[in-house]
């Protein structure tokens, strides 16, 4: 890679590392890492702080993937397309997502990268942009069909690299020797979302995952910190002895 590409990758990682959800919460006197699911992303920000703050967090998390990748596309992509140019372009988007997931400002902890992945992919026109649009349809179908945000995210993670491969075969037809970085990075982005959702997958298997419409009251400055989302598995019925003990 050229020096310019390396600088862009480092800059993308630093931009991606900005924890907007945490900053928005702190501006309102709340540490969202101690409420709801404990995640710094838009879903938890919306649950803890309210819908409008969650939407602001979502927009900013998308933007920090979109802006660096868009700039990289103007600077490093060659015409005709080359593997090195496409690798640098997609690697900048990957770096922004890595920054969100493993923020240098949070001790290399962070979010799950869904919104930042959407932003980064949207900037790689048309190879990722159209594929991400298809992946978002899968996200919407699973999210609203099952009412699990995590299932929507996992569906998007699976659909995105498949769509990248399918669209190139059916539409763009970039030669394989130039195209290979795009599906490679797409698979990495999808796998990262899956890995970052390992706790959600565990809760889904146990039947303990929260649904979209599960009520969580928005926090206030006086809210006490509560543990991240507790196990929502159905509790076993109390025995008759326990009922007597409780005066029931």
The whole-number pLDDT of residue 218 equals: 52
3-state secondary structure of 165: helix
Please state at what angle helix 149-167 crosses helix 198-206, rounded to 10 degrees.
Answer: 120
- Peptide bond preceding 80: is omega within 30 degrees of 0, i.e. cis? yes
Listing DSSP states for 34-52 in one string gives GSTT---SHHHHHHHH-HH
* DSSP character at residue 105: G
What pLDDT is stored for residue 37 in this prediction? 87
Averaged pLDDT, groups of 10, the chain, 248 residues long: 92 98 97 93 94 97 98 88 92 98 97 97 94 98 96 98 90 79 96 97 93 63 48 42 38
22 phi and psi, to 5 degrees? Answer: -65, -40
Residues sharing a CB contact under 8 Å with residue 244, sequence separation 6 or more, in sequence order? none
- Are 125 and 135 a contacting pair, CB within 8 Å? no
Cα separation, 65 vs 127, whole angstroms: 16
Q: What is the pTM of this model?
A: 0.85
- What is the C-alpha separation between 69 and 65, in angstroms, rounded? 6
Query: Which of 176, 172, 165, 89 is CA-nearest to residue 134?
Result: 165
Would you kindly state where each structural domain of the chain is located, as residue ranges? 3-214
Answer for the pair 128, 181: CB distance below 8 angstroms, yes or no. Answer: no
- What residue has token string 């803890």? 48
**Residue 238, CB-side half-sphere exposure with 13 Å CA sphere:** 9
Cα gap 212→142, rounded to integer Å: 12
* Structure confidence at residue 1 (pLDDT): 65
């Amino acid at each position: 890679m050229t020096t310019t590409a390396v600088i862009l990758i480092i800059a993308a990682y630093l931009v991606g590392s900005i924890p907007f959800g945490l900053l928005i919460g702190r501006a309102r006197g709340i540490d969202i890492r101690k409420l709801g699911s404990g995640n710094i992303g838009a879903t938890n920000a919306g649950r803890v702080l309210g819908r409008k703050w969650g939407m602001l967090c979502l927009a900013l998390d998308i933007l920090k993937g979109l802006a660096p990748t868009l700039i990289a596309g103007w600077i490093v992509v060659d015409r005709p397309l080359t593997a090195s140019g496409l690798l640098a372009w997609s690697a900048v988007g990957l770096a922004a997502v890595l920054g969100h997931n493993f923020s240098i400002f949070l001790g290399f902890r962070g979010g799950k990268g869904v919104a930042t992945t959407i932003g980064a992919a949207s900037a790689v026109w048309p190879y990722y942009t159209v594929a991400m649009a298809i992946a978002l349809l899968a996200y919407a179908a699973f999210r609203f069909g099952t009412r699990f945000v995590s299932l929507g995210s996992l569906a998007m993670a699976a659909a995105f690299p498949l769509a990248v491969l399918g669209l190139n075969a059916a539409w763009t037809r970039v030669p394989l020797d130039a195209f290979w970085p795009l599906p490679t990075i797409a698979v990495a982005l999808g796998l990262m979302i899956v890995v970052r959702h390992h706790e959600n997958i565990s809760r889904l298997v146990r039947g303990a995952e929260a649904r979209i419409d599960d009520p969580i009251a928005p926090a206030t400055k006086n809210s006490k910190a509560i543990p991240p989302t507790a196990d929502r598995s159905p509790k076993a019925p109390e025995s008759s002895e326990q009922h007597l003990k409780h005066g029931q």
